[in-house]
Structure 1
Amino acid sequence: MSLPSVAPDPAAAELAAAFRRLPADAPVRLGKRTSNLFRPRAAATTTLDTSGLSGVLAIDPVARTADVQGMCTYETLVDATLAHGLIPPVVPQLKSITLGGAVAGLGIESTSLRNGLPHESVLEMDVLTGSGEIVTCTPDGEHADLFRAFPNSYGSLGYALRLRIELEPVPPYVALRHVACADADDLTRAVEEVAATGEYDGLRVDAVDGVAFAPGDLRLTLARWTDEPGRVSDYTGQQVYYRSVQERTSDRLTIRDYLWRWDTDWFWCSAAFGAQNPTVRRLWPARWRRSDVYHRLVGLDRRYGVVDRLDARAGRPRRERVIQDVEVPADRLGDFLAWFDAEVGMRPVWLCPLRLRDTTHGERPWASYPLAAGTTYVNAGFWGTVPVGPEAPDAPVNRAIEAKVDELGGHKSLYSEAFYDVETFDALYDGPNLAAVRERYDPGGRLTALYDKVVRGR
């Protein structure tokens, strides 16, 4: 079935023209207001202005679809769709993540056990390719090879200028249950029950994620969309959401506050800036208690080495930054957490179960991030530093995590630092297919290849 056409977007046409005006040997980089990457990159000498590509083009509340520009943030998108009682099937947890970024660089959230990953709700995309053309690709059309290789390509195959996505209806409120789990196996059994039945203990579950606070203290949060009015909690002020997961057994939020429950404190990472100290929190303007502000503060630290200098002055071991999200099969989660506790020792760890929606395009339908259809995975997210001493620049902890995740049959997201050799990288992320698609749409090699981008930092 063909999809309704949309009017050409002048901003997209202008970006493509600006791309074609660049010298053939000029590196290509999008100029973006925000970023959620945590890996070093070579300084850009030329950037393409994307300021005109940050909006919602159209919402069809009957068909439950939205046409969205690639640089539109989920905060902007959700504000527009909630006005119609709709949201994207998966809304990544940070407000400043863009739709194009979540598709090209992956995204995940608590609806991923039910709805897969953000790119699985994309119906079609307009992609600016390395040859300077704008190509409209769909799951089964002429450019299906680009459509299926695009997720996890990080701009190495082109840039999404417009995406048409599915939407789903939501009521105004979310009822939460925080279920205590004795260990990872206990949590996994609950996750598999939800995956198989859509329920837990007889109640419907619309979304699920969890937090591993300690080896014997894991909490699974089960969310149910509801119309029932009642008192709701507010974690945008003095209260901190992640603490409530450990302190409460039930809760209620508005749907909007639920979607952004992690953003106010960047999960728990705002503590590094003192933003969870009650006195500091009262003085810290609410408009600055958000993930993109904290990200800029981290960027300043990395640029000037503030923490490294303070550690050196105090005689403390040099610290390695360990900021990663990994997916492991659910039945190996216990193995991973046991190893992680022994070898890394960071807590809390965010846990987010997922299953691919697409079971119609082979066992591994998304070539560049080949998770197996029909398998339950759990994303483990951990973000902080580990004292390792003078070996810190060689990233021994990050390298060990990569090896362990590979051993357990999982994958690692590439938004942060990666250290794979070429052969391992190509085996994990289907390098031969990436190369073939790149040859078709970027025969001149204008765009930086994925390995060069995410491992070599080019």
Structure 2
Amino acid sequence: MDLSSHEREVSRVATTIRVQASRGGPVRIDKGGVSHFVPVPGDPRERATPIDASRLRRVLTIDPERRVCVAEPGVTFAELVPRTLEHGLVPAVVPELEDITLGGAVAGCSIESSSYRHGGFHDGCLEYEVISGDGQIVTCSREKEPSLFDMIHGSYGTLGVLSRLTFELVPAKRFVRMEYRRFDHFDAFNAAMVERCKAGDFEFVDGIVHGPRDFVLCLGAFVDDAPYTSSYRWLDIYYKSTRGRTDDFLSTPDYFFRYDAECHWLSRTVPGLETRPVRWLVGRHVLGSRNLIRWSKRLDRVLGLKSRPDVVCDVFVPQRNFGAFYEWYERDFDFWPLWVVPYRMPRPYPWIRESHARHGDELWIDCAVYGKPNDDPRVDGSEVLEQKTYELGGVKTLISRNHYTEERFWQIYDRERYEAAKRRLDPHGVFPGLYEKAHRVRKS
């Protein structure tokens, strides 16, 4: 572990924060690469002073015997997975887009098809090193300052700069065999998904709802060998393949990042980009989450001409209310595909207010809506989705447009615990508050 280089870089960032704290004014963490906050035209965060943490992007050590990795927050999962696979190991949860960073997965809400077993990436984390708003270096874990450790997840960079993570690894193999099971009714699909989660006989469980009578349960297992491998990084499209195939084989990295080429299905918003001739000509320059997000930022002014941005959001609904959510979604929301990911919450997250999470469900269902047009002047689809999620005791990610009043926001998020962590880590308010950062734009 090159601790000397790490400590020098942490010291530099801490000094920058102390200087900025003395000057005042809003700041933001610049981790380098692309931001996975959904682009919103006129985002006020872009006017804040950046704190450059872009050099905190090294894997510091991998311990195959203990199955533990120590790394800096700017490491992307695409960079990490090949390193750990050399030892037959991977993080328990690998988010689906290549450029998501370790720090971003902790600060936000990371999910994937292994989440029915492991929860989020943060649930496998053992220790964080954080640079506070007054330039102090704070180390926390479940044993040391557990109240801080618990609140780093879901804080979206509002408490400090995450500078080092220690996290668990799990055994992996070179390939993943996929099995696709089709259903034409929601009840059968949902029952089969819950059954597989209870049985635990696959490493990966998720689903794609292509339409009201077209459900696909996607089941994956690590295997040592594969008779062939498919790739969905250029000409072929993963989510479409699930409608026609009964099984498939992918290399483990290609499975983890199977949605990256389309940035889920956002590529279909670009005319022709899902056709093979266009993909052959320009796909390598346009496809992929990094490219698509960068293009969306370049087109900020054009996107600003829209009455509203498209709906791009993940919402978590308690499994017991998933049927009610889906009934409403099919009838009123009517946008496909819908990505469905079962998510095990090993214990209630402290940043969720106890009165909101009182149902005590361990299994939640993440429903990912990507790219629904939102140009109906009579209704804002983003706000309607947010309201329905709240009604059903769910929680939405905060990376997109948010409409909560301050009162409603703190009925979901635990204000007392958040503000206690804020006082400890950012007593002078160098970083924005969670409510203020989440409510970037209110555009109708």
In structure 1, distance between residues paired with 2:172 and 2:45: 42
**After the TM superposition, which parts of structure 1 deviate over 4 Å for at least 4 consecutive aligned residues?**
4-8, 368-374
Q: CA deviation at 1:140?
A: 2.2
**Matched position secondary structure for 1:9:** helix
Q: CA deviation at 1:287?
A: 5.7
Q: 1:68-125: per-residue Cα shift (whole Å, max 9, x none)?
A: 1111111111122122221100000001111101101111000000111111011000
Match of 1:37 in 2: 37
Q: Residues 409 and 304 from structure 1, CA distance in 2 versus in 1: closer, same or farther, beyond 3 angstroms?
A: same
Residue pair 1:126, 1:134 contacting (<8 A) in 2 also: yes
Q: CA deviation at 1:306?
A: 7.3
**Matched position secondary structure for 1:165:** strand
Q: 1:419-443: per-residue Cα shift (whole Å, max 9, x none)?
A: 1011111111112211121112222
Select which of 67, 70, 74 maps to 1:67.
70
**Percent of pairs identical after alignment?**
32
Select which of 208, 211, 214 maps to 1:214.
211
Q: CA deviation at 1:243?
A: 0.8
Q: CA deviation at 1:332?
A: 2.0
Q: CA deviation at 1:275?
A: 2.2
Select which of 116, 119, 123 maps to 1:120.
123
Q: 1:373-421: per-residue Cα shift (whole Å, max 9, x none)?
A: 6521111001114253446xxx722111111111111110111111101
Paired residue type of 2:313? Q
Select which of 147, 150, 158 maps to 1:148.
150
Q: Residues 449 and 238 from structure 1, CA distance in 2 versus in 1: closer, same or farther, beyond 3 angstroms?
A: same
1:400 maps to 2:389:
no
Residue pair 2:374, 2:382 contacting (<8 A) in 1 also: no
Paired residue type of 2:231? D
Which segment drifts farther, 20-29 or 167-176?
20-29
Alignment of 1:12-161 (within 5 A): 12-22=10-20, 23-31=22-30, 32-38=32-38, 39=40, 40-141=43-144, 143-161=145-163
Q: Residues 52 and 434 from structure 1, CA distance in 2 versus in 1: closer, same or farther, beyond 3 angstroms?
A: same
Residue pair 1:425, 1:431 contacting (<8 A) in 2 also: no
In structure 1, the gaps of 5 or more residues are 199-203, 309-317
In structure 1, distance between residues paired with 2:202 and 2:350: 26
Residue pair 1:113, 1:355 contacting (<8 A) in 2 also: yes
Select which of 321, 345, 363 maps to 1:376.
363
Match of 1:311 in 2: none
**Matched position secondary structure for 1:244:** helix
Q: CA deviation at 1:228?
A: 3.1
Match of 2:221 in 1: 224
Q: Residues 144 and 345 from structure 1, CA distance in 2 versus in 1: closer, same or farther, beyond 3 angstroms?
A: same
Q: 1:190-217: per-residue Cα shift (whole Å, max 9, x none)?
A: 222122221xxxxx21011111111111
Which segment drifts farther, 226-235 or 89-98?
226-235
Select which of 188, 191, 200 maps to 1:189.
191
In structure 2, distance between residues paired with 1:250 and 1:331: 30
1:429 maps to 2:396:
no
* Number of equivalences: 432
Q: Residues 195 and 437 from structure 1, CA distance in 2 versus in 1: closer, same or farther, beyond 3 angstroms?
A: same
Match of 1:259 in 2: 256
Which segment drifts farther, 43-52 or 343-352?
43-52
Paired residue type of 1:416? S
Residue pair 1:149, 1:368 contacting (<8 A) in 2 also: no
In structure 2, distance between residues paired with 1:275 and 1:282: 10
Q: 1:38-64: per-residue Cα shift (whole Å, max 9, x none)?
A: 143333342122221112111111111
In structure 2, distance between residues paired with 1:334 and 1:376: 14
Q: CA deviation at 1:285?
A: 4.5
What is the TM-score when the length of structure 1 is the normalising length? 0.89
**Matched position secondary structure for 1:160:** strand
Residue pair 2:154, 2:351 contacting (<8 A) in 1 also: no
Residue pair 1:324, 1:412 contacting (<8 A) in 2 also: yes
Which segment drifts farther, 71-80 or 21-30?
21-30
In structure 1, distance between residues paired with 2:97 and 2:320: 28
Q: CA deviation at 1:261?
A: 0.6
Which segment drifts farther, 27-36 or 179-188?
179-188
Residue pair 1:352, 1:379 contacting (<8 A) in 2 also: yes
1:352 maps to 2:355:
no
1:321 maps to 2:310:
yes
Q: CA deviation at 1:222?
A: 0.4
Q: Residues 301 and 49 from structure 1, CA distance in 2 versus in 1: closer, same or farther, beyond 3 angstroms?
A: same
What is the TM-score when the length of structure 2 is the normalising length? 0.92
Q: 1:242-297: per-residue Cα shift (whole Å, max 9, x none)?
A: 11111111111111110111111212221222321111111025364211111112
